[in-house]
């Protein structure tokens, strides 16, 4: 059944997301790692390869000072919203290459309140772009969503339906930040940030950490009762013609997203179709992004989202449950941790031990998707 | 005496009337803004200066409803909510401030290039940036 060069998730851990001034990013990362190790029933000394990611909360490899100075190779990655997926990809490739039989991926972050700070120079742009008030990620999400709703005839109410489901799922999840359900009307009536998006349709920068223990196929089934196979993970940067954040100009279109490229590659490598997915995680920095990502990843057709949402098809009990833990909307967005939060949730769902709402009927195929600046996406397929 | 300056001269091909300075690839025809020396589509292409069309239509729009953090610089009277969007100029879509009232804004609205005061330097110099306003001459 299992092949030695297959990679499985055999343990996962997560520090609650949200705001807690008493802990640092590193504190949270340490707790997530220790939980993942305990979940897999292994010790830090057993880990032969590690990768970690954080956007603003320190060098991940310094965690060895807390976990144990074993000499383990520890790669730091910093890939924006794809950081978590990059750590998984790095560790999985090392295991497949025979570097080690057990590996660890960890992601963490702790951000300041409010919108992310930006630097025009860091994105290769002139100072004018930020000085004139155009360098805000919230504007990009609003502009992309506005055009998408226009092109596909989707009403703004669908954006509230997405957020309503996110907060409902978050309210049932012990590790989520936003735990209070909100009605569609409350979401529509919250202060406008950038139309068509309101305050409760956006996630907030927050804090959190998550970690996974990965094992080669020849070890996985000895360590774990129900290991989850990493059937594929694919990372893509943007190609010409994509519509990205911080873009002073765009080509006339059509605009193809790196999410589409990454999803297609992940499905192809895993040998499954989007219709096979029984539990999914989609980057939901805002309601519009999730709505668009549903179609960009192939989970539905462009313009089909409203019907899907209204029918409850994306609820935990629906045909294609999305963001069963409440996603970024309910969890907040600690950039380095969110990607691994997605893995944590999907792994636990496939193992039948979701911390929050469990998808009924023993789902066997899971999917994760992240998307971020300046046009990167990573997708994975997980199976049991 | 009150003086004005452009926020970044490299963005403008001319000032009165304003034209934006883009660049066009000699090989694939891709038009970019601001100017850049290499083509993002065909790495072998040569880019040459290319003044952008001044008239187009709103392709997408939104409102900046909260004051941005620095390095945003508010105008003399302080931050007021403002519209931004992409304007379809045919050969390229350009992101810009939109000097269009909310009641008039819609995807497809004909607009034309203008300038507006972004902020003032400490010595009182008015700093102009580019923007698009409703194009009264365009047929509805």
- Find, among A274, A247, A282, A190, the residue nearest to A374 by Cα: A247
Q: Which of A131, A238, A240 to mutate to test the interface with B (most CBs of B within 10 A)?
A: A131
Residue of B nearest to A249 (CA): B94
Partners of residue B34 in chain A, C-beta under 8 Å: 126, 248
Is residue A160 included in any domain, yes or no?
no
Do A365 and A277 touch, CB atoms closer than 8 A? yes
Give the model's pLDDT for residue A373. Answer: 81
Q: Which residue has the tokens 């589509």?
A: B41
How far apart are the CA of A204 and the nearest CA of chain B, in angstroms? 15
- pLDDT at residue B1 tops 60: no
CB contact under 8 A, A194 and B65: yes
Tell me, yes or no, if A252 comes closer than 8 A to chain B by beta carbon. Answer: yes
Phi, psi of A124 (to 5 degrees): 70, 25
Gyration radius of chain B over CA positions: 16
* d(C-alpha A366, C-alpha A185), whole Å: 31
Partners of residue A118 in chain B, C-beta under 8 Å: 71
CB contact under 8 A, A194 and B64: yes
pTM: 0.95
HEC sequence for A186-204: HHHHCCEEECCEEHHHECC
Greatest alpha-carbon span in chain A? 59
What is the residue-wise DSSP string for A152-197?
HT--THHHHHHHHHHHHHHHT-TT-S--S---HHHHHHSPEEETTE
ipTM: 0.95
What is the residue-wise DSSP string for A314-326?
TSTTSSS-B-TT-
Ranges of chain A with pLDDT below 70: 1-2, 114-117
- pLDDT at residue B139 tops 60: no
Q: Quick one: CA torsion of A255, A144, B135, A125, rounded to 10 degrees?
A: -80
Give the model's pLDDT for residue B16. Answer: 87
* d(C-alpha A217, C-alpha B125), whole Å: 68
User: Could you state, in order of their start, the residue ranges of all structural domains in chain B?
Assistant: 4-134
Q: For residue B28, name the pLDDT band (cuts at 50, 70, 90).
A: very high
Is residue A366 included in any domain, yes or no?
yes
Question: Which residues span the domain enclosing A25?
Answer: 7-113+203-383
Give the model's pLDDT for residue A221. Answer: 92
Please give the structure tokens belonging to residue A279.
């539990």
Give the model's pLDDT for residue A115. Answer: 64
Tell me which of A314 and B137 has the higher pLDDT. A314
Nearest-by-Cβ selection for B7 from A128, A136, A195 = A128
Please give the structure tokens belonging to residue A149.
């709703």
User: Beta strands of chain A (E only): which ranges?
Assistant: 7-18, 49-53, 74-77, 102-110, 192-194, 197-198, 207-216, 228-237, 249-250, 279-281, 365-372, 376-383
Average pLDDT over residues B55-84: 96
Phi, psi of A146 (to 5 degrees): -55, -50
Domain count within chain A: 1
* d(C-alpha A104, C-alpha B83), whole Å: 46
Tell me, yes or no, if A144 comes closer than 8 A to chain B by beta carbon. Answer: yes
- Three-state DSSP at A183 gives coil
- pLDDT at residue B106 tops 90: yes
What CATH number does residue A339 fall under? 3.40.47.10
Give the model's pLDDT for residue A116. Answer: 64
CB contact under 8 A, A139 and B61: no
Nearest-by-Cβ selection for B41 from A128, A142, A240 = A240
Please give the structure tokens belonging to residue A38.
């305990």
């Amino acid at each position: 059944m299992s092949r030695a060069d297959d990679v499985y998730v055999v343990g996962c851990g997560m520090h609650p997301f949200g705001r807690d001034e008493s802990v640092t990013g590193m504190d949270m990362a340490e707790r997530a790692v220790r939980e993942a190790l305990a979940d897999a029933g292994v010790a830090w000394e057993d880990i032969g390869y590690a990768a970690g990611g954080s956007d603003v909360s320190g060098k991940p490899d310094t965690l060895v000072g807390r976990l144990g100075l074993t000499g383990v190779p520890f790669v730091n990655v910093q890939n924006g919203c794809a950081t978590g997926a990059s750590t998984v990809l790095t560790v999985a490739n090392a295991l497949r290459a025979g570097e080690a039989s057990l590996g660890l991926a960890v992601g963490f972050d702790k951000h300041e309140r409010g919108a992310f700070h930006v630097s025009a120079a860091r994105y290769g742009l002139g100072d004018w772009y930020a000085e004139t008030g155009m360098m805000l990620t919230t504007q990009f999400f609003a502009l992309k969503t506005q055009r998408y709703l226009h092109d596909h005839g989707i009403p703004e109410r669908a954006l509230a339906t997405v957020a309503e489901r996110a907060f409902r799922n978050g309210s049932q999840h012990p590790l989520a930040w936003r735990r209070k359900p909100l009605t569609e009307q409350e979401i529509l009536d919250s202060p406008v940030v950038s139309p068509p998006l309101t305050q409760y349709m956006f996630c907030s920068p927050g804090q959190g950490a998550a970690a996974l223990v990965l094992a080669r196929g020849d070890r996985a089934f000895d360590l774990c009762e129900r290991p989850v196979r990493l059937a594929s993970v694919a990372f893509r940067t943007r190609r010409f013609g994509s519509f990205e954040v911080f873009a002073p100009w765009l080509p006339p279109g059509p605009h193809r997203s790196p999410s589409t490229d990454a999803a297609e590659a992940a499905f192809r490598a895993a040998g499954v179709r989007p219709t096979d997915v029984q539990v999914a995680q989609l980057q939901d920095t805002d309601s519009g992004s999730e709505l668009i990502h549903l179609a960009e990843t192939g989970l539905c057709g462009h313009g089909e989202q409203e019907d899907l949402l209204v029918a409850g098809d994306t609820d935990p009990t629906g045909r294609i449950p999305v963001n069963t833990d409440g996603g970024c909307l309910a969890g907040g967005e600690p950039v380095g941790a969110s990607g691994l939060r997605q893995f944590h949730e999907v792994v636990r769902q496939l193992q039948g031990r979701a911390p929050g709402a469990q998808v009924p009927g023993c789902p066997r195929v899971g999917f994760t998707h992240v998307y971020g600046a300046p046009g990167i996406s990573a997708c994975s397929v997980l199976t049991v | 005496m009150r003086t004005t300056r452009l926020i970044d001269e490299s963005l403008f091909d001319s000032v009165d009337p304003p034209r934006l300075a883009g660049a066009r690839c000699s090989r694939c025809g891709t038009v970019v803004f601001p100017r850049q020396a290499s083509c993002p589509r065909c790495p072998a292409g040569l880019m040459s200066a290319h003044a952008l069309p001044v008239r187009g239509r709103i392709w997408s729009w939104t409102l900046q409803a909260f004051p941005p953090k620095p390095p945003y610089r508010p105008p003399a009277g302080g931050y007021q909510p403002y519209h931004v969007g992409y304007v379809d100029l045919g050969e390229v879509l350009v992101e810009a401030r939109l000097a269009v009232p909310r009641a008039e804004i819609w995807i497809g609205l004909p607009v034309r290039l203008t300038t507006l005061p972004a902020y003032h330097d400490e010595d009182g110099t008015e700093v102009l940036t580019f923007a698009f306003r409703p194009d009264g001459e365009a047929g509805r």
